[in-house]
Amino acid sequence: MLAPFHLAIPVTCLAKAQAFYGDLLGCTTGRTDAQWIDWNFFGHQLVTHKVEAMPSAPKYNSVDNHAVPVPHFGVVLSVTDWQVLSAKLQAANVEFILAPYTRFAGQAGEQHTLFLLDPFGNALEFKAFADIGQLFATD
């Protein structure tokens, strides 16, 4: 069994966090407080902590000739779950940093990927591998 990760990120408004992580992404809540919310983020524990101001915006690195935000976080989904989430985000007219596409097509590590920002500027990536054995492929 894969151990769930724990990640705490800053947000400036818990109601907007609820709209994005709860309503749009479908994450359920765990413990909550006036200053934070625990989320079941696809089986992992994500905590949105309320802050007065967000830290600096992400920087960008080139990956597969695309600008990828750093830092970013996300999950590796099944291809079916990735397609469902991708369609849901597109139907909601989400603005993507990188619209859904297949990265490294025909190469080691071929994957479906998409990037977006939450309402606070935190960058998220969702990806899927047709062959999960390619997750750590080098060639």
CA angle 24–28–29, rounded 5-degree value: 115
Percent of the chain with pLDDT over 70: 100
1 part of a folded domain: no
Mean pLDDT, residues 119-134 taken together: 94
User: What does the pLDDT read at residue 115?
Assistant: 98
Chain mean position to CA 96: 11
User: How far is it, in rounded angstroms, from Cα 52 to Cα 23?
Assistant: 23
Q: Could you read off the pLDDT of 57-116 as tens digits, one per residue?
A: 889 999 989 999 999 999 999 999 999 999 999 999 999 999 999 999 888 889 999 999
User: What does the pLDDT read at residue 106?
Assistant: 86
Q: 27 and 94 share a domain?
A: no
User: How far is it, in rounded angstroms, from Cα 36 to Cα 43?
Assistant: 18
Q: 122 and 76 share a domain?
A: yes
User: What does the pLDDT read at residue 55?
Assistant: 92
CA angle 100–102–106, rounded 5-degree value: 180
User: What does the pLDDT read at residue 81?
Assistant: 97
139 part of a folded domain: no
74 part of a folded domain: yes
Distant-in-sequence, close-in-space partners of 98: CB < 8 Å, separation ≥ 6: 66, 67, 68, 113, 114, 115
Domain residues for the domain of 73 are: 59-134
Q: 43 and 63 share a domain?
A: no
* Counted domains in the chain: 2
User: What does the pLDDT read at residue 3?
Assistant: 93
- pLDDT higher at 46 or 2: 46
- pLDDT exceeds cutoff 80 at 139: no
Mean pLDDT, residues 112-131 taken together: 96
When pLDDT is cut at 50, 70 and 90, the band that residue 37 belongs to is: very high
Q: 63 and 23 share a domain?
A: no
User: How far is it, in rounded angstroms, from Cα 44 to Cα 66?
Assistant: 27
Helices of type H across the chain: 14-17, 79-91
